[in-house]
Every structure is written in C-alpha cells, then in structure tokens.
Structure 1
C-alpha cells in the first residue's frame, strides 16, 4: 500500500481556474462515481451560487442559483450521486439534480422562518438531513432534521428538532461515515456533542459532550474504527477525542492544544498562520490536517496522539487564505479553494498548463467567519439512568 508520503510528495498543480469577480470559495464536495464518466466537483461561493465542475479538468459545467442567503455548505448524496444538497442562512436546504446543470432545485427543505442555518450534512444512507442554526433570540440554537429521501414531494415536513444541546451558533454538523444514526455537532459555545439518532429523545440520544476550549470551527470523524473525533477551533486550537472510551473510566482526550500553529515549524522555521480542517484517509488509516500561510502556501500535516507532523508543503498555488479542500481518493487528487477566488486541482506529477500564482481577487466586502466568545463547559459522559 502506498504510504501517505508517497501519495502526497508528488502533488503539484494540474489545473487552476479563477472567476472574473471577487468570490470566496467556501466549501466543496466531490462526487463518488462507480460507473463511466469523469465525475463532478461542486463548489459553493460567497455570491450564493453553486458551481459544478468536471473534476478531471475543472471545466465549468453549470451553475445553480436560488438561495436567498449566504451558503453554509454543499454535499453530494452518498447513494444517489446525481443529487446534490446545499444549505444556506436563508433557512433552507435544497436538492439539485446534477444531470440538469442550471435548473431549479428539485426540493426545498424548510424549517421555522426564524431559523438561519450555518451548517448542514446528509447521513451516509441519505435518509436523514440535518442543519444547525444560528443562535435564536440570544438564547438557544437548534439541530433540525428532515427525511432526505423526500426529493419528489412538494412539501417535506421536519422530522424533529433538538433544542437543548447547544446555546450558540452550530458551526458544524457531521454524520458518521458509516453509521447512519451517529451525528457530531460543534458550536461557538465551545461544545462538541455526539448523538445516537436511533434513540427516542434528545436527552437519550446525547452520548457525549466534549469541550473544545473555544469556538468550534470544524469536526472530522477519524480513527481505525472511525471512533475518533477531531475538532479544530476558530482560534486554531485542536482536539482529538477517542469516543471508544465513552463507557470506560479512561479520558476521551487523545491529544489537545489551544494553539496548534506552532507545533510543526515549517522548513524556514516559521509557524502556520491558520488551519483549514481535517480529513481521514481510510485506505492509509491516517488523519491529515491542512494548514496554511496567509500568503497562500499550504501544508499537509499528519495528526496523531503525538501531535502534528509535516508531510508535504504545497507552494505556488493560492495567493490568500484557503477556505476549503477535498481529497478525491478515486482520482488521487486534491482540490483547494479560498479567498483568492481560485480553484486548484493538485495531482501527482502534474505540470500546470499555465504556470504562476495568480493575483488575489479578495474582496473587502466578502464574508467573514464569525467567532464569538465561547461558554465554559467540561466534557461529560452521558450517565445511564
């Protein structure tokens, strides 16, 4: 089996595209393809549009519009890869048919009018959609659930709502990659909660509450049995928890630090400026974190109980902060996008058709990530009655 170093050391820029207007690239998702065809890459932008690209050469195939607020994420369905989901602060999660680029949404999932979503995800079975709201009226925030299979219905009611587990913006919701009933949520209140959705009530479903020590920005499932959970915070903290220890007296924390930027000095001795998010490579059984410098260089880091280790530096690509990335295991390729409006495709041994880092199109009016003071909580194991 090819090692992580071998897989990433040969990465170089294969293609890059840059729109004519200053648009942040906020999130992306790659289509899993089992049949013929190159597959697709979906990218959501700060101008509220979703771009559909060929993942082999980044050719723009179409654009979806319809959301009335900033986008909070995009995700292909797992078992129905022709369906694409997007969430927005307009209080909707929408379903798009990628066989009809540019068409209207085939379904709109709504909640209460005062709900503004800042995160969403779809379960590995495509059966359940979940969106996390901003804080409502200075009080609580909500996890809202729908039946994700209701894409042909004109009206799709909410399956249920969790209202007691977070008290501030829910910045991330992540379903388990293989357990359709397992869900993790992170919030600016500092908490990361883990739920078993097969249980009847919210109180019964809450398996564990972990304290990130700060405003949680991203959550990633990891580990040999996918029982670990990585959390990054808006102030560049990092925590890795082992949920396999929930029913034991052992601590959940495998590794934690309030600031991970200086743990892995770069080749010139300087620290990272920021962390993007993490990704678990199933084939290599390895947890990677992508970090960057404000000038645009990226660095791939391996994360374990010992901390961080530099695997590969990716230079000469972006000219501003990177906001999102996705690894395509089928094509052995890395896609990155950010505040310079550039979308880059990195592949082993590639030679860019047009070389040279592009000037940034960063806009002073573009969306800024929010980071609120977090509330102090310790992690708790759910007590059985």
Structure 2
C-alpha cells in the first residue's frame, strides 16, 4: 500500500458538529456542502486559509449537491422542502443563486442529476403518499417539470445520473432495490425503463464509463457491476463482490468515483477502528473486472474514528481531497 500524508486542511468552526457531505471540484475551486446547510468554496491549494466564499442554502435540510457545469462553476442543490437551486459560484455570494425551482411540496427531494449538454435537471423524491417520483426540468423553461415519472420506483429515489455521452439515458436507484436505466425521450411510463437491475437498497449507483457498464453499491455494502448492453444477459451482474467489506477488509464504502479517462473507477473504503481510509482501483483487463490490490493508496489517520463522507481525485496534481463527519476537509499528497 502506498500512503499519502495530510498536507493541508481545515476544521469547520462552531460548537455543534458539522458533517461535510460532498466535495465537488470546479474551475474556480473546491465546493463543499455541509450539514449546516452551507456551500463553501475553497482554494484547493490553501484549504487552511478558509473559504473563498460561503453560501447558505434554503432547502430546510440539504440532501444532495451536484455539479451542473464544472467548467463554469455552476452547481445545483436540493433538500427536504422540495426545492432545487442553481448556484453560479463565480458571482458574489449575494447574487450566486441564479435559479430556484419549486419541485414538490408533498415530498422531500433526495437526489439530483444534471446535464449541461441538454439543459436537463432531474430530481428524485422520497416515498410520500405511496408514491416516489422522478421530476425532469428543461432549464430553458423551468416553471414546471417537462416530465414526471411516478411509477419507475416504489420507494425513495436515492440516486440519479445521466449517461455522460447519451444524456437521454437516466440511471435511477432506489431503496426498492432497483437500478433502472430510463429512456427520458419516452413519456409513457410503460416504455421508459429499458433495463432494470435488482441489486438491493441503493446507496450509490452510476455509469462507470461512456459505454454500457454501471456500478451499484447497496446500503448494506454489496457491490456489483452490470452491463445494460443488449448482448448481456438481462439483470445479471458481470462482476459481483457480494458484501465488499469482507473482500477488502473495511467497515464501509464512502463512494465510487469513475476515472476521468474511462479506465475503471476508484472505491473509497474506510475502517474507523484503524483510523484509515483507502483508495482501491477497479480495473478492466479484456472483458474482466477486478479490484487491484497492487495499487491501493492509503490515507493513514484519515478523519480519525469518524466516517469519510466524500473524496475526489486530482491525478495530474497527485492530490486527494477528503471530507468527513469530523468537520474536516483535508488534502493528501505524496510524502516529500
């Protein structure tokens, strides 16, 4: 295992503990969403100097943050009061909320997906009044959703992701156990789901690359890959670890981050009792996937005995950023 050292960091102030739930790389810096309902923008080279700007969101409770356009530093947020906001982090804090949409007053919004290619924004609701919905807006006319699917899932919609090169395809995951591939050019709910994978209550799921493979991670840490190609047996995993905690000797999986170059992904796994967080590469040789035990990167000390909630990689700069339930955001680099 190759270890990195913490080279910089900042602990959020205040007497109440703050969880930093998401960190998102943008052209103007590193955006961090936290349980105090804030969005803070940091200079990734100067974390300890504090945020460049701080925004207070207005969702009641912030549940999801996604990059809408990283190159233009635009992000979207949503939460328990059913609203969605777009923020332009290039602007002054007072002017940075550039759009606010009332999605639903009946249910909290739990998940988001964005496509700047098609000006599309999708949000998934919790189960309320026996219904869990996916709402999709065209941001050029955001007064009402252009599509609403009410029967794709039967429980909380916990994950949404547009395909990176075919944004008419929307992956959705739910606590009903399903990962669905939805063709959003269809308005008929009987036609919208073109592939379904029964994996277990979904914590994270997404497209692994620009082709047809997807990953799924359940709330009880079962991990598998699926292929939505027609040539693959429908619903069958092409790589399945079962409970990944016993496979890689960890206590939890924070997330799965696809590599920018399409060469697999990185799993971030933690062990609180060892105060250790590790990055494990998922690689493909021919048609076979495997977890590469030879290229594991360790972050000793991590976030102490608290969980790491988010991480992101800057391969060219050889730096990893993490955030956790201890209120810290940290940068990790090779030891000089």
Aligned to 1:215: 201
Partners of 1:124 and 1:211 lie apart in 2 by: 29
* Equivalence for 1:337: 323
Q: Aligned equivalents of 1:200 and 1:292: distance in 2?
A: 41
**Structure (1/2) with the larger strand percentage:** 2
Match of 2:124 in 1: 132
Change (3 A) 1:171 1:15: same
Instruction: Please point out which of 30, 44, 48 is paired with 1:55.
Output: 44
Structure 1 residue ranges without an equivalent (≥5): 34-38, 265-270, 351-385
Say whether 1:114 aligns with 2:106.
yes
Matched, 1:171 2:158: yes
* Per-residue deviation, 1:47: 1.3
- What residue ranges of structure 2 are gaps of 5+ in the alignment? none
Structure 1 residues 343 and 126, CA gap change in structure 2 (3 angstroms)? farther
Q: For each residue in 1:218-264, what CA deviation from the matched residue of structure 2 results, as whole angstroms up to 9, or x when unmatched? A: 013214x43111111111111110122x3554764111243110112
Q: How far apart are 1:26 and its partner, in Å?
A: 1.0
Displacement of 1:308 after TM fit?
2.9
Which residue of structure 1 aligns with residue 221 of structure 2?
A: 236
SS in 1 for 2:69: coil
Q: Which residue of 2 aligns with 1:373?
A: none
Coordinate RMSD, CA, aligned? 2.2
The TM-score normalised by the length of structure 1 is: 0.78
CA 199–100 in structure 1, closer or farther in 2 if over 3 Å, else same: same
Alpha-carbon distance change, 330 to 72 in structure 1, aligned in 2, over 3 angstroms? farther
Is the Cα–Cα contact under 8 Å of residues 83 and 104 in structure 2 kept in the other structure? no
Distance in 1 (CA, whole Å) between partners of 2:45 and 2:198 is: 40
Match of 1:13 among 6, 10, 23: 6
Alignment of 1:1-385 (within 5 A): 9=2, 11-21=4-14, 22-31=17-26, 33=27, 39-58=28-47, 59-78=50-69, 81-104=72-95, 105-125=97-117, 127-137=119-129, 139-149=130-140, 156-212=143-199, 214-223=200-209, 225-244=210-229, 246-249=230-233, 252-264=236-248, 271-283=249-261, 285-295=263-273, 296-303=275-282, 305=288, 307-310=290-293, 311-319=296-304, 320-329=306-315, 331-349=317-335
Q: TM-score, normalised by structure 2?
A: 0.88
Contact 1:120 1:131 in 2 (8 A): yes
Deviation at 1:205?
Answer: 2.3
Query: 2:320 & 2:138 partners in 1: Cα distance?
Result: 31
323-332 vs 50-59, greater mean Cα deviation: 323-332
